[in-house]
Amino acid sequence: MKHLIDSKYVRLAVVIVLGGLAGFLFTAFHLAPPQDRSITITAHKYAYDPPVLQVNRGDRIHLHLVAQDVTHGFYLEGYNLEAKMRPENDTFWVRHPSQGGDFEEVDEVSFVASRPGKFRYRCSITCGYMHPFMQGELIVRPNHLFSTSVGLSMGLLLGMLLVFRPSSQGVKK
Ligand SMILES: [Cu+2]
């Protein structure tokens, strides 16, 4: 039993798991910490600029909405957010549809991208004949899977280096 626990394979497994855990914690909390992102979306007939937004899960989005030509709307799926913007206005109007409130004038709306996935945003105010095609996409990337796989690879590498390096042969206590 004792030589089983002492065997290099058990030590390898322990090192891989510890390395994997360390790698996971490192990538989860160091490489991709939640960020504050200031994002301006400009609406014009019949598109949003940028058309696609990519953020990481957990990021706090500070959104500023601008209309370039005529009054446009902005409805973001999945995040209960609706807005309307008028040209030549630094401010815009926001409401949270599921809470049934009125539009409120703001110069920024912020929210945490807590739900991973793809969420369409589209114009909610008829602005012309191509209005139904005016939409964009918010992509919220989950970074959990990435962190775990990087962590396990690091653990495997670390384990190989520590346990199978030539100099460790026969240096048992
Ligand atoms: Cu529109």
pLDDT band at 54 (very low <50, low <70, confident <90, very high): very high
Break the chain into its structural domains and give their ranges. 2-31+146-168, 36-142
CA–centroid distance, 87 to ligand 1, in Å, is 13
Tell me the C-alpha distance between 67 and 106, whole Å.
Answer: 14
Residue 150 Cα to ligand 1 middle (Å): 43
Return residues with CB closer than 5 A to ligand 1 (ion).
Answer: 72, 123, 127, 131, 134
CATH hierarchy code of domain 36-142: 2.60.40.420
Please give the pLDDT value at position 79: 94
- Report helix, strand or coil for 50: coil
Give the predicted TM-score (pTM) of the model. 0.68
Question: How far is residue 21's CA from residue 27's CA, in Å, rounded to a whole number?
Answer: 10
The DSSP line for 61-128 is EEEEEEESSS-EEEEETTTTEEEEE-BT-S-EEEE-GGGTPPPEEES-EEEE--S-EEEEEE--S--S
Per residue in 76-129, pLDDT (tens digit) is 999 999 999 999 989 999 999 888 889 999 999 999 999 999 999 999 999 999
Distance 43 CA to ligand 1 centre (A): 8
Q: How far is the CA of 108 from the centre of ligand 1 (A)?
A: 20
